Amino acid sequence: MKLFEHEAKALGVNFNLPLPRSLLASTPDQAREAAQSLEKPCVIKAQVLVSGRGKAGGVRFASTPEEAYQIAKILLGSDLKGEKISKLLVEERILSKKELYLGLVVDRSKCCYSMLASSEGGVDIEEVSEKAPEKIVRREISPLSGLREYEAREVAVKLGYTGRQLLELTSIILKLYRITVACDGELVETNPLIETPEGEFVAADLRILIDDSSLFRHPDFQKRAMEMTEELKPIEMKAREKRLAYVELDGDIGVVGNGAGLVMATLDMIKHYGGKPANFCDIGGGASSERVSDAIEIVLSNEKVKILLVNILGGITRCDEVAKGILAVRERTGVIKPMVIRLVGTNDEVGRRMLVEAGIESFESMENAAEKAVELASEA
Amino acid sequence: MVILIDSDTKAIVQGMTGTQGSFHTKLMLSYGTRIVAGVTPGKGGFQVEGVPVYDTVNEALHGHEADASIIFVPAPVVRDAVLEAIGSGLKLLVIITEGVPMKDAMEFLWEAERSSVRIIGPNTPGVITPNECKLGIMPSHVFKKGGVGVVSRSGTLTYEVSAGLTQSGLGQSTCLGLGGDALVGLTFVEALEMFKNDRETDAVALIGEIGGNAEELAAEYIKATGYPKPVVAYVVGRSAPPGKRMGHAGAIIMGRTGTAESKIKAFESVGVDIAEMPNDVARILRERLA
C-alpha cells in the first residue's frame, strides 16, 4: 500500500525526521492561508499516489500567497495521470546545495532490509544504480540485530560527510530505519534529502510503501486502504471488496482461473495465440460456487470484455462447484457473453456434464481453450 | 534417495486443529505420510484423525520422534510458530500460510539460516515425493513416481506441469513449491543443487514467474556448475504490467527488475530449454531424455 506524501510526512514528524514545514489544503483559500502562515516561497504539491507527479505538472512553485491560491485553483479537482487531485501539500521551499538519496528497500535475495544511499539524489535512483553503481552505498541490515548506530555512521561516512553533519546524517538514517520497522515498510525513501546552503539536512520528499501483508497490525492504514488506494480502477476496487486478486489489463478476453501461476500462464497463452487478455483474476483455492459467480460477474462488468475464458485445474477447488457458479451467473444476469471453459481435476466429470447440459462447451486442455477463446474474440 | 522427504520422514502439523490443518492432515495421512503429532496452543489433549494434539512443539517432540513440521497457522502467528519449531530443533519446516508479513519472514528466515534449518515457503503448496511422502496441500493424483524433479514458485502450475509429465509417461522424483511470496526460504539454486546430487532425479523442470531475481540466480548457477542434468524452464508473466501484483505477493515487476523477459533471457543464455506453454515441459523433457 502506498501512502500519500502527507501521510508519510506525518509519520516522519512522529520520529523527528527533519522535514520542511507544511500544511494540507483542500480548497484554494486554504492554500492561500497556508502560504501566508509559512511566510516563505512555497512548493504546492498535488497529493496523488500515481508516480511521475512532478513531470506531469503536479508540483509547482508559488512565491506569494496569491500565486498559491491561483495554482490551487488550477490543480484541485483536476486530473493528474488519471487520478483526481483533492488535496495539496503547501510546503516551504527549501534551498538546496546538494541533493542526496536515502532509502530502505526489501532485499529479496538476502531476505532482509537493505539501506541504499547516494550523494547523487533527486533523480531516478534506479538509473543511477544502473549507470553508476559505484555512486550507491548499499548495506544489508540483519533482521536479528537491526541497524546498529555504527553501521548508520559508516554509511554517512561513505557519503563523504564529517563533523556535525556526519552525526546529523547518522541520526536521519537511524530514524528512517525506525520508521521502516514501525510501519512494516516495503519501501521507505527520501529523495531528495536536501543539504541546505547552511549545511542542514531536510527530507524534502518522503515516500512510503507499506507491506500489504502487515496491514492487520496497522488498522488505520487498513481502513484507508479499503477507502482509497493507488491507481485502482472501479472494478479493481470491487474485486478487492470480494477479496479477489484482480488486475485490469487492456484486452478483450476476460479471464478467471484458480491460482496465480495458472492465471498468469493463461494470460501468456492468450497472448501467444494472438489475443489480448482483459484482466487477471484469481479465485484462489477451494472456491465456492458463490465466489466463482462473483469473480465472473466482476470480470464481465468490464465493458471491453467480449469473451470469457475460465481456466480451472481443480485440486481443493471442486469442478462441480465451479460449474454451479458459472451456471448461476447465467441465471442471475440473463444470457451473456460467450464463454470458453477449461475444467479438469476434482469432480470434473460432474462439472463438465452440468455445463454440457446447459449447452456450454468445455475443454480439458488449457491450450485448446485459450486458442478457442482467441478465435472467438477475433470473430466477435 | 530423492530430496527433502521420503518414506521415512516423520512430521508434526502446527495448526492441526484449524480448518485447513485438519483437512490436509487427513489427506496427508491417507497418502501415507507419517504424521506423528499436532500442535495447536490451547488445544492440547485433542485428537485429529486419531493423531494427538499438543500445546507446544516441545511437548509434541517429547513423546514423538519427528524430522519436519508443516505449518498451517494463521499469518499473524506464523512468526512465533516458526521460531518455536526452530527452537525445538526441527530441521525442515514447510510453511503453507499465505500473507505472512515481510518483516516477520525476514526474522525467521535469518534465524533458520543461523540454526541450519531448512524452510520451504511461506505461501507454498509444499513438497511431495510420489508414493513416499507428501508434506503439502497438492492434489496427489496428478503425481507419479519417476525421474523428473519439479521446482516451482506456483502451486497450480506445479500441478499443471506435473499432470502433463505424468500423462506423457514421465514420473517425478520430488516436486516442490518454493512459495509465492517475495521472501521465501529454499531457493531455485538450493533445489537445483539437491536435484543434482539426487540419483533418482534425471532432469529438472523449473517453473518461474515475474518478480525478484531467483531465476536469474538459478541460470548463473547452472552455468557455473555446468549443470549435469537437463533443465527445462517455464516462466510465466510475460503479459504482466509493471508495478502490479499478479496474485502472488512476490509476483510483481518493480521498476526494471523481475520481468519475464529478463528471466527467459538469462536461461536461454546458459542453454536452458524454454517451454512456451505448460505442456511443452513434458514434450521437451521427453526429447532430452530419449
* A109 with B250: Cβ contact below 8 A: no
Residue of A nearest to B182 (CA): A108
- Partners of A311 on chain B (C-beta within 8 Å) are none
Q: Say yes or no: B251 contacts chain A, CB-CB below 8 A.
A: yes
Q: Which of A245, A314, A366 sits opposite B247 (nearest CB)?
A: A245
Q: How far is A231 from chain B (nearest CA, A)?
A: 10
Does B185 lie in the same domain as B44?
no
Quick one: pLDDT at residue B243?
Answer: 84
Say whether B35 sits in a helix, a strand or coil: strand
Residues B82, B207 within the same domain? no
CA distance B240 to chain A (A): 8
Q: What pTM was computed for the model?
A: 0.94
Judge if B107 and B144 occupy the same domain.
Answer: no
**Which of A102-116, A305-319, B22-36 has the lowest average pLDDT?**
A305-319
Q: What is the CATH number of the domain that holds B158?
A: 3.40.50.261
**Does residue B47 fall inside a structural domain?**
yes
Same fold, A21-92 and A234-379: no
Same domain, B112 and B224: no
Please check whether residue B89 touches A, CB under 8 A. no
Report yes or no on B128 lying in a domain: no
Domain count, chain B: 2
The yes-or-no answer on residue A189 being catalytic is yes
Q: What is the pLDDT of residue A230?
A: 57
CA distance A283 to A134: 45
Is the separation of the CB atoms in B124 and B179 below 8 Å? Answer: yes
Residues 15-74 of B with CB under 8 A from A: none
Query: Does B248 qualify as catalytic in the annotation?
Result: yes
Cell of B110: 535469518
B179 inside domain:
yes
Parallel/antiparallel/unpaired status of strands A88-92 and A22-25: antiparallel
Domain boundaries, chain A: 21-92, 98-221, 234-379
| C-alpha grid cell, residue A268 | 501468456
Same domain, yes or no: B142 and B94: no
What CATH number does the domain located at A98-221 have?
Answer: 3.30.470.20
Is residue A231 very low, low, confident or very high in pLDDT (cuts 50, 70, 90)? low
| Same domain as B253, residue B154 | yes
Which residues in chain A have Cβ-Cβ distances shorter than 8 Å to B117?
Answer: none
Residue B68 lies in a domain: yes
Q: Please state the CATH superfamily assignment of the domain spanning residues A21-92 in this structure.
A: ATP-grasp fold, A domain (3.30.1490.20)
Per-residue confidence band for A335, with pLDDT thresholds at 50, 70 and 90: low
CATH of the domain at B65: 3.40.50.720
Q: Of B87, B120, B153, which residue is a domain's last? A: B120
CATH 3.40.50.261 fits A234-379, yes or no: yes
Structural domain of B232:
138-289
Residues B280 and B160 in one domain: yes
pLDDT in tens, B243-288: 888 989 888 888 778 999 999 999 999 999 999 999 999 999 999 9
Question: Reading across the β-sheet that carries B92-95, which strands appear in turn?
Answer: B47-48, B51-54, B34-39, B10-14, B68-71, B92-95, B118-120
Structural domain includes residue B61 = yes
Residue of A nearest to B234 (CA): A265
Q: Which of these three, B73, B91, B120, is where a domain ends?
A: B120
Weakest-pLDDT range from A20-34, A337-351, B178-192:
A337-351
pLDDT of residue B129: 97
User: How far, in Å, CA of B112 to CA of B106, rounded?
Assistant: 10
> Rounded CA gap, A40 and A26, in Å?
20
Which chain A residues have a beta carbon less than 8 Å from that of B236?
Answer: 261, 264-265, 268
CB A373 within 8 A of CB A350: no
C-alpha distances in Å from residue B193, one per residue of A29, B99, B200: 66, 28, 14
Strand locations in chain B, DSSP E?
A: 10-14, 34-39, 47-48, 51-54, 68-71, 92-95, 118-120, 126-129, 133-136, 145-152, 172-177, 203-209, 231-236, 273-274
Overall average pLDDT of the A228-250 stretch: 81
Q: Quick one: B185 and B116 in the same domain?
A: no
Judged by a CB distance cut-off of 8 A, whether residue B102 touches chain A is yes
Task: Please check whether residues B196 and B72 belong to one and the same domain.
Answer: no
Q: Is A48 helix (H, G, I), strand (E, B) or coil?
A: coil
Cβ atoms B186, B178 nearer than 8 A: yes
Report yes or no on B133 lying in a domain. Answer: no
Query: Which pLDDT score, from 0 to 100, does residue B247 have?
Result: 87
Q: Looking at the structure, tell me whether residues B77 and B199 fall in a common domain.
A: no
d(CA B111, nearest CA chain A) in Å: 7
More confident: B55 or B246? B55
Testing the interface with A: which of B215, B239, B245 to mutate, by most A Cβ within 10 A? B239
CB contact under 8 A, B239 and A186: no
Contacts of A145 in chain B (CB under 8 A): none
Residue bearing cell 484486452: A251
Reduced to 3 states, what is the DSSP secondary structure of residue A246? strand
Tell me the chain A residues in contact with residue B221 when contact means C-beta distances shorter than 8 Å.
none
**What pLDDT score was predicted for residue A229?**
60
Q: Are residues B172 and B54 in the same domain?
A: no
For residues B180 and B279, state if they share a domain: yes
